[in-house]
Amino acid sequence: MVSRVIPVQPFDLVLFGATGDLAQRKILPGLYHRFEVEQMPDDARIIATARSSMDTEQFRAQILASMKEFAPGFKQDVLDQFLQHVEYIPVDALGESGWSELSAALRPDVVRAFYLSVGPSLFPGIAQRLSDHKMASPDSRIVVEKPFGHDLASAKALNEGLRACFEEHQIYRIDHYLGKETVQNLMALRFANSLFEPLWNSTHVDHVQITVAETVGVDGRGAYYDQSGAMRDMIQNHLVQLLCLTAMEPPSKFSPNAVRDEKVKVIEALEPVSPADIARGQYRADKGGDGYTDHVGNADSRTESYIALKVHLGNWRWAGVPFYLRTGKRLRARESEIAVFFRDPPHTIFPNVGPLRGNVLVIRLQPDEGITLRTTIKDPGPGGFRLSDVSLDMSFADALGEDASAPDAYERLVMDVIRGDQTLFMRGDEAEAAWAWVDPIVEGWEDRGDRPSLYDQGSSGPEDALMLMHRDGRRWRQIGG
Ligand code: BG6
């Protein structure tokens, strides 16, 4: 299979927050990689801005240092050429300095994109200044990072602030999970094959488990994380997006609004979650090491670093099918997957083999991206008729060889911005609908004063999460198994 790189149009990409962690760790290395595969045209320009006063040479030196740390496989001669496309202009995002220089640097006839790799409180102010300085042309794009607000009210305020200066078709709200290759593969699996779709409903599916397990803690991001917790940091966006792609109706075409219309319908069908269907956890200190409360510097914190929820969709296709979502930090393994459990066979013709187990389709998002289907076969050998569960296992790395080495999510997403393709970005109503579902859940535990239960670092999460499943006569798939 030959991977194809389709060059994009010439562009001016203005990167706000260019000295920040995300820009240095992901966005700039991502752009370098797109340059290396010759997707960036010769006259593409990256105009990096931040408050720090430095010149372009100093900023280029900073990129070099970051590449050594975060993308050590880079080629020095290619990087030297890439850096010629990067310039730096100091701009005070909320003050007045630098804006005229930035405006003067922009070219009239190329794609213009403003990437706000800054905290959400800065979004409306930057949008306003871009508009005041006449930089926001009708065709320009504005890209905003997550978190897109803290609750419904703040998300609405952000939408209003952005829409005061940009039209919805110009606003690109990032959820980097949508840029992950296997997440997009979920749509290919469902809508480019005829095998699965007829079975993809409550008649055949018993339940679905969506897991995003991490081994990292919250070190270094304590101040943000302690105000958010796993529900706001991961469920409201990444896991809800995975749920949408798993549960949505087939869109009529693969176009931004057709796909996003279907996703919004899924979010709007999410039913309120009862407290009994929620398990929250916080990782405890391990022997001689720190725990969550030490990492966030708040001994009395009630914020969850783990959450599991049983969720129902009130619609025709999924009525009665639970979707179990779980995500947490400092768990046994870094593992993200969607597992669709099909119903058990209704009747067994084989004597003495016990109840038959349903098939399970697992879409592994990371690491070792691939798809597995648990099936039941006859144990080889003469004598009695025994059955075993085996997996039909497709690892993308084995199946696709070199082509399986997918670009980082950010590479894909930034190029989609330049192309003007919003399919993999959240629409404003989608973000608001997700907050409208999340808010009452969070308010519920805040009003009750619930405390998360403690779990061991390196474990699968708190006991309560196991109980949540056991109560329903089901089991979680093993993390790191
Ligand atoms: C971010 C969250 O959006 O996603 C982090 O804020 C989390 O807390 C990260 O660690 C996970 O992303 P990935 O791509 O490493 O799975």
Which amino acid residue places its CA nearest to atom 9 of ligand 1?
Answer: 234
From the alpha carbon of 216, which atom of ligand 1 is closest? Answer: 10
The pick from 212, 214, 307 for probing ligand 1's pocket by mutation, whose C-beta has the most ligand atoms within 8 angstroms, reads: 214
Candidates 233, 256, 101, 103; CA nearest to 176 is 233
Active-site option among 238, 295, 347, 470: 238
User: Which protein residues touch ligand 1 with a CB less than 6 Å away?
Assistant: 146, 214, 216, 233
Output the CA 377–ligand 1 centroid distance in Å.
Answer: 38
Which amino acid residue places its CA nearest to atom 15 of ligand 1?
Answer: 214
Residue 475 falls inside a structural domain: no
3-class SS string, 106-148: CCCCCEEEEEECCCHHHHHHHHHHHHHCCCCCCCCEEEECCCC
Residue 164 falls inside a structural domain: no
Candidates 174, 183, 223; CA nearest to 27 is 174
Output the CA 354–ligand 1 centroid distance in Å.
Answer: 42
How far apart CA 275 and CA 279 sit, in angstroms, is 8
Give me the residue label for tokens 């009862």. 274
Count of beta carbons in the 10 Å neighbourhood of residue 368: 11
Which helix (H) or strand (E) segment is 390 a member of? strand 387-395
Residue 173 falls inside a structural domain: no
Output the CA 450–ligand 1 centroid distance in Å.
Answer: 25
DSSP secondary structure, 413-428, as one string: HHHHHHHT--TTSB-H
Shared domain check, 361 and 237: yes
* Residue range 398-447, pLDDT digits in tens: 887 766 567 789 999 999 999 999 999 999 999 999 999 999 999 999 99
Residue 481 falls inside a structural domain: no
Q: Enter the tokens of residue 187.
A: 């749509």
Instruction: Tell me if 116 sits within 8 A of 17, measured CB to CB.
Output: yes
Instruction: Tell me if 476 sits within 8 A of 466, measured CB to CB.
Output: yes
Output the CA 258–ligand 1 centroid distance in Å.
Answer: 27
Total domains present in the chain: 2
Output the CA 220–ligand 1 centroid distance in Å.
Answer: 13
Peptide bond preceding 367 in cis form (omega within 30 of 0): yes
Residue 379 falls inside a structural domain: yes
Shared domain check, 198 and 140: no
Candidates 220, 193, 251, 172; CA nearest to 371 is 193
Long-range contacts of 95-100 (CB under 8 A, 24+ apart): 98/49, 99/129, 99/132, 99/133, 100/133
Has 238 been annotated as catalytic? yes
What is the predicted pLDDT for the residue at 184? 87
Which amino acid residue places its CA nearest to atom 6 of ligand 1?
Answer: 233
Count of beta carbons in the 10 Å neighbourhood of residue 138: 8
Q: Enter the tokens of residue 307.
A: 């959450």
DSSP three-state, residue 219: coil
From the alpha carbon of 221, which atom of ligand 1 is closest? Answer: 8
Shared domain check, 355 and 219: yes
From the alpha carbon of 233, which atom of ligand 1 is closest? Answer: 6
Average pLDDT, the chain: 93
The pick from 234, 329, 413, 426 for probing ligand 1's pocket by mutation, whose C-beta has the most ligand atoms within 8 angstroms, reads: 234
- At residue 69, φ and ψ (nearest 5 deg) are -80, -45
Residue type at 304? E
Count of beta carbons in the 10 Å neighbourhood of residue 399: 12
Residue 168 DSSP class: G
Count of beta carbons in the 10 Å neighbourhood of residue 214: 19
Residue 134 falls inside a structural domain: yes
Shared domain check, 306 and 239: yes
Burial (Cβ within 10 Å: 0-12, 13-18, ≥19) of residue 262:
middle
Shared domain check, 206 and 128: no
Shared domain check, 374 and 283: yes
The CATH number of the domain where 71 resides is what? 3.40.50.720
The CATH number of the domain where 432 resides is what? 3.30.360.10
Q: Enter the tokens of residue 238.
A: 């990444």
Shared domain check, 231 and 307: yes
How far apart CA 422 and CA 416 sit, in angstroms, is 7
From the alpha carbon of 180, which atom of ligand 1 is closest? Answer: 14
Full residue range of the structural domain in which residue 38 is found = 11-145
Residue 345 falls inside a structural domain: yes
Instruction: Tell me if 86 sits within 8 A of 64, measured CB to CB.
Output: no
Long-range contacts of 332-335 (CB under 8 A, 24+ apart): 332/213, 332/215, 332/458, 332/459, 332/460, 332/479, 332/480, 333/213, 333/215, 333/479, 333/480, 334/213, 334/214, 334/215, 334/216, 334/366, 334/367, 335/211, 335/213, 335/364, 335/366, 335/367, 335/479, 335/480
Output the CA 402–ligand 1 centroid distance in Å.
Answer: 26
Residue 316 falls inside a structural domain: yes
Peptide bond preceding 355 in cis form (omega within 30 of 0): no
Instruction: Tell me if 14 sits within 8 A of 52, measured CB to CB.
Output: no
Q: pLDDT (tens digit, 0 to 9) for every residue of the chain, 481 residues total?
A: 445 788 899 999 999 999 999 999 999 999 999 999 999 998 999 999 999 999 999 999 999 999 999 988 999 999 999 999 999 999 999 898 999 999 999 999 999 999 999 999 999 999 999 999 999 988 899 999 999 999 999 999 999 999 999 999 999 999 999 999 888 889 999 999 999 999 999 999 999 999 999 999 997 888 999 999 999 999 999 999 999 999 999 999 999 999 999 999 999 999 999 999 999 999 999 887 899 999 999 999 999 999 999 999 999 999 999 999 999 999 999 999 999 999 999 988 888 787 889 999 999 998 888 999 999 998 888 877 888 889 998 888 888 776 656 778 999 999 999 999 999 999 999 999 999 999 999 999 999 999 999 999 999 999 999 999 999 999 999 998 7
Shared domain check, 199 and 250: yes
